[in-house]
Amino acid sequence: MLPKISILISTYNGEKKVKRAVFSALRQTYENIEIICLDDCSTDNTYKILLELQRIDKRIKVFKNKTNLGIARNRNLLINYATGEYFTFLDDDDTLTKHICKEFISKLGTRKIDIAPFKARIIFYSFFVMPWFCTSKINKKTNQYEYVNSSLCPPWGCFINKKYFNSLNTPFNEKTRRFEDVGLMPYVYFCAKEFMPLNKTGYNYYKDNSHGRLSSYNNQNATILSDEIYQVDRLLTIFKKKGFLNRKKFLRIIWSNIEQSIGCYIGHFKPSKKYSEKLIYEKIKMEYKYLMHIKYKIPTNLKHNIWWKKIDVLFQNREYKQQNKKINQILKK
């Protein structure tokens, strides 16, 4: 029998978009699927809408949290609820292309794989489409290390073997309510022994997030950057235990991935004009550099080996060089 795929949807106050996400799952041309929806204690009509959808198709299963738990806890619960051999995440305001599950099963054949990423594309305000450069370079020769080096490694945009994921004994970190992907997904890719990239577009990432995404950056202040630092610390702790930080080849890839997702974001972050928030921001920037280069001893002279990362980091090079100079002075003592 062909393997079952679990499509996992976490939602909070998603009444405006969740129906579109669920219908994109229902339209899959591969039928052996289940769609598990978890309402994180919404205050709008989200749960009512999900129950109505559940009556349409028996493959839809709906759960609701008694209290708001946050995206990391929701992802862990969804994986536990899943009964499929493979699972994929779908955010409540995004969609899947209708053939992606079938494309995966067709290429899978009789193989057993750990993880299979596929391409994603950004859709701006529901009409302007562009390939997402972080995943558009996938081809059949891409290995897991190249993928981590060139991708943000989101939790969606891939099929994951549930047995493999559970064997890692490393769930999404629930101690912060943001950036759960940063603290885990690069490690999930690194440990994969059976890696099968799909050169197909399967995920539509919508940027018209006026109603607020699960991990929205709207209404941020500098203090939330501490969640990013915490997740980076957790990720590097895991990598260190596995010995990945002792190999220069892997070290560059790990550093490049973190700089792409966190370093560049911190560098581009614009705090409010409040003096207190500017101080918090400056402190967090230094905490990040100390974490990377002193606690985990990552060399300060590593360079990006992908052209668009080199361009992106140019805008913060001067500031980073000044910070690295201070760090190098400390390391020499």
Cβ 186 vs Cβ 254: under 8 Å:
yes
**Residue whose structure tokens are 């990391």:** 72
Q: How far apart are CA 223 and CA 33, in angstroms?
A: 40
Which of 77, 22, 74 has its CA nearest to residue 46? 22
Lowest model confidence (mean pLDDT) among 189-198, 213-222, 287-296, 316-325: 213-222
pLDDT tens per residue across span 124-183: 765 565 555 445 567 777 899 989 988 889 999 999 999 999 999 999 999 988 889 999
pLDDT tens per residue across span 194-216: 999 998 999 999 876 544 445 44
131: β partners: 121
Q: How far apart are CA 267 and CA 314, in angstroms?
A: 11
Q: Residues 260, 269, 74, CA angle at the centre, nearest 5°?
A: 70
Which of 145, 188, 209 has its CA nearest to residue 17? 209
Q: Which amino acid is at 246?
A: N
Cβ 292 vs Cβ 298: under 8 Å:
yes
Tokens describing residue 134 = 């972080």
pLDDT tens per residue across span 204-253: 998 765 444 454 444 467 778 888 899 999 999 999 999 999 998 899 89
Q: How far apart are CA 132 and CA 145, in angstroms?
A: 19
From residue 80, give the alpha-carbon distance in Å to each of 49, 176, 290.
Answer: 23, 20, 36
Question: What is the rounded (10 degree) CA torsion for 313, 318, 320, 325?
Answer: 140
Q: Which amino acid is at 93?
A: D
Q: How far apart are CA 321 and CA 249, in angstroms?
A: 23
User: pTM of this prediction?
Assistant: 0.88
Q: How far apart are CA 168 and CA 72, in angstroms?
A: 16
Predicted confidence at residue 46, as pLDDT, reads 97
60: β partners: 35
Question: What is the rounded (10 degree) CA torsion for 197, 202, 207, 209?
Answer: -110
From residue 12, give the alpha-carbon distance in Å to each of 43, 119, 300.
Answer: 8, 25, 40
